[in-house]
Amino acid sequence: MFDKILVPTDFSAVSHNALQYAVQMALRHQARLVLLHVCKTGLVSIIHNEGKEAEALRKMRRTQADLNAQYPSLPEVEIKVLHARGVSDEIVRYANKIKASAVVVGFKGSRDDPRSTLGRNTLGVIMRCPRPVFSIPKGASFQPYQKIAYTNYNSRTENANFNTVVKLAEAYQAEIIILRTRSKREDENFDPARNLFSHKKNIFKYQNIRKEYVGTDDLKEGTRIFTQNELPELMALGIHDERFFYEMVLELYRKDIAFEQNIPLMSNVI
């Protein structure tokens, strides 16, 4: 389902770990890997910008050579260095330009300062990119998906994200677990796929889906409790707004077992 995976990098340890995760995805799906570095421009000289680009290209070429040597079965590794004032905006623009089927970014997580859990550029990509974005916490390693948890509020606007979740589950024969809070409008006959997609002509036929009512009215807290108990290999989020996503990430990665287990996130802008 993935044929081109974009991996932005700033050459940090967090970015390197995200790259290693993306490599395993690329090997699994036989996808092209595109490494991107965006040099942030500002009120500096042209010579200084050229120097930054040359250094970035040198590092990218070395990474490209290392990957080709270490993983000879990788279909292709491309590199690109761009200049822009807004790094996250440029990443999103380039992802759309090359029609990337997925974007893989890293984040460090922080139990001491929750405000630093997501970097500015990572959050910017997540909230603006209309393509599947995999956010990889520091220390995570790729594990074939057996359980994919999906958090949503039963909003019919979340189709794009759930579409990707179903395709992933089909590729890995994984179980999809939809996390919900029980409300007066919900009943025991809730059919996740049909309820989310009854207005679409092509209703998903994937059968390995179950609902899980979290034991609290707070979906963020319930999601954290669920990850403690079942430890899915991937946590998929339907993004309603930046605040929802940010608060969910803080709940999952600030101080709990999800942080310790380094559970990756997958999201789509709705």
Q: Any idea what the CATH number is for the domain that residue 132 is in?
A: 3.40.50.620
Domain interval for residue 110: 4-137
Mean pLDDT is lowest, of 107-121, 135-149, 204-218, 232-246, for 107-121
Is residue 173 a part of any domain in this protein?
yes
Could you tell me which residues come within 8 angstroms of residue 14 by beta carbon, excluding any fewer than 6 positions away?
106, 107, 108, 119, 138
* In a shared domain, residues 117 and 155: no
b/e sequence 78-98, b meaning 16+ C-beta within 10 Å: ebbbbeeeebbebbbbbbeee
Statement to judge: residues 166 and 133 lie in one domain:
no
Q: Which of 37-46, 99-108, 187-196, 239-248 has the lowest mean pLDDT?
A: 187-196
142 domain-assigned = no
Paired tokens of 184: 């007066």
Band the pLDDT of 115: cuts 50, 70, 90.
very low
Residue 203 pLDDT > 70, yes or no? no
| Mean local confidence (pLDDT), 105-122 | 66
What's the whole-number mean pLDDT along residues 140-158? 78
Residue 112 has pLDDT above 50, yes or no: no
Does the pLDDT at position 51 exceed 70?
A: yes
Say if residue 186 is in the same domain as residue 262.
yes
β pairing state of 234-239 and 265-269: parallel
33 and 123 part of one domain: yes
**pLDDT the model gives residue 206:** 82
Residue 60 falls inside a structural domain: yes
Q: Does residue 43 lie within any of the structural domains?
A: yes
What percentage of the chain carries pLDDT values higher than 90?
Answer: 41
